[in-house]
Amino acid sequence: MEKQTENTGREPGNTAAERSEGIDTPCEVQFAQYTGPWRDQFLSKGDRIAVISPSALPSREQVDAVVNGLREWGYIPVEGKDVCEEVRTLEDCLEDLKWALEDSSVKAVFCVRGGYGASEVMDLLPEGLIESARKLIIGYSDITVYHAAWTAAGLPSVHSSMSAAFTDLPEANAEAVKKLLQGEIPTYTCKNGSYYRTGKAEGILIGGNLSTFTATLNTAYDCTAKGVPYILFLEDVGENLQHIHRYLTLLKHFGVLDRASGFIFGEWVGIPLLDGDDINGSSRGGAYQSTADMITREFTGSLEIPAAFNFPAGHGEVNWPLLMGVKARLTVTEDSYSIEWK
């Protein structure tokens, strides 16, 4: 693995709330039909897709956007019984997920929104149900819990926008989600910003939302404990720099960072960089200029592991889809980085 000291240039920051890092990052996207061992997981027009929300309560408008959007894509969406019932219980959420996994006519599970609550549902899901169902689950944010569980079960999943795929995403971004569901796998080539570490890494792609991902450690669905090489993807929204530092410290203490073969950091949206923060860098060599600056100085700088920053996925204006739980290759040079699946 090539060793390269990170570029020490500074990303622009905002003293009130840090801008989303990566929205303007140029990326080229190419697609190729997947021919690997998970060919049967991908979808064909006419497939039935369960539409559920096994996390927080969505609005009727969000559910309708997914149902109508999937229908326009050529699928048969089947709405769960308690997707947006305001008085639904934890057991109702669990029953919708169990139905989606157990119904043999359903090919995949499309989540309407994230939010909070996935960990509670996963704690109650019968053991072995994910493995026996062998179905893609699609979503991000709190759905990171399910990505971890699917990866721990040895199955792929799709990290992508949910209802926003049919309402708010740029057309090319939404088209990438559509293609990935049908087995057209993207290869991303993106220009570096001010932070990176060169090198090459291979491993299954794991991770997602940082604050949610830390809640899966040392659980039955801890995908870092599989004993196989992995590339770690992380993003977050609406936290502060102190919380980001704390979550990454947990990953460090659990050995998750040291065991990674590579890092892909996505967008950090609405992360304040205020002088009054307990963790602002002033006692660590100078104020942090961005989340990427803090991560580089405090966590990745001493690791001889390739790291890509500002990949446009997460809670920003764009959210390029990622195939989780499948072997990927990360290549970082001084000018750019690429993400591809094998």
pLDDT tens, 218-229?
Answer: 999 999 999 999
Predicted pLDDT at 258: 97
With a cut of 70, say whether residue 277 has pLDDT above it: no
For 89, other C-beta atoms within 10 Å of its C-beta total 10
Predicted pLDDT at 22: 38
**Superfamily of structural domain 27-32+187-341:** LD-carboxypeptidase A C-terminal domain-like (3.50.30.60)
The per-residue pLDDT of the chain, averaged, comes to 91
pLDDT tens, 305-330?
Answer: 999 999 999 999 999 999 999 999 99
Predicted pLDDT at 9: 29
Cβ–Cβ < 8 Å for 259, 222: no
Which pLDDT band, with edges at 50, 70 and 90, does 276 fall under?
low
Predicted pLDDT at 260: 98
Predicted pLDDT at 273: 78
With a cut of 70, say whether residue 16 has pLDDT above it: no
Average pLDDT over residues 95-117: 98
Q: How far apart are CA 302 and CA 287, in angstroms?
A: 19
Which pLDDT band, with edges at 50, 70 and 90, does 275 fall under?
low
Which pLDDT band, with edges at 50, 70 and 90, does 7 fall under?
very low
pLDDT tens, 51-71?
Answer: 999 999 999 999 999 999 999
With a cut of 50, say whether residue 126 has pLDDT above it: yes
Q: How far apart are CA 21 and CA 205, in angstroms?
A: 21
Q: How far apart are CA 334 and CA 336, in angstroms?
A: 6
Percent of the chain with pLDDT over 70: 92
**What sign does the CA torsion over 277, 283, 289, 293 have?**
negative
pLDDT tens, 146-170?
Answer: 999 999 999 999 999 999 999 999 9
With a cut of 70, say whether residue 236 has pLDDT above it: yes
Q: Which CATH class is domain 41-182?
A: alpha beta
> Which spans in the chain are helix H?
60-72, 90-102, 118-124, 129-133, 144-152, 171-181, 210-213, 241-253, 256-259, 291-295
**Residue among 68, 63, 123 nearest 91 (CA):** 123
For 270, other C-beta atoms within 10 Å of its C-beta total 18
**Residue among 252, 267, 261 nearest 331 (CA):** 261
- In this structure, what token pair is assigned to residue 297? 């100085």
Tokens 């939404």 found at: 174
With a cut of 60, say whether residue 190 has pLDDT above it: yes
Single-letter amino acid code for the residue at 33:
Q
Predicted pLDDT at 283: 79
Average pLDDT over residues 269-296: 83
Domain range summary for the chain, segments of one domain joined by +: 27-32+187-341, 41-182
With a cut of 80, say whether residue 274 has pLDDT above it: no
Q: Cα 81 to the chain's mean position, in Å?
A: 27
Predicted pLDDT at 320: 97
> Which spans in 104-228 are helix H?
118-124, 129-133, 144-152, 171-181, 210-213
Name the residue with higher pLDDT: 243 or 282. 243
Q: How far apart are CA 321 and CA 177, in angstroms?
A: 6
Which pLDDT band, with edges at 50, 70 and 90, does 12 fall under?
very low
Predicted pLDDT at 2: 32
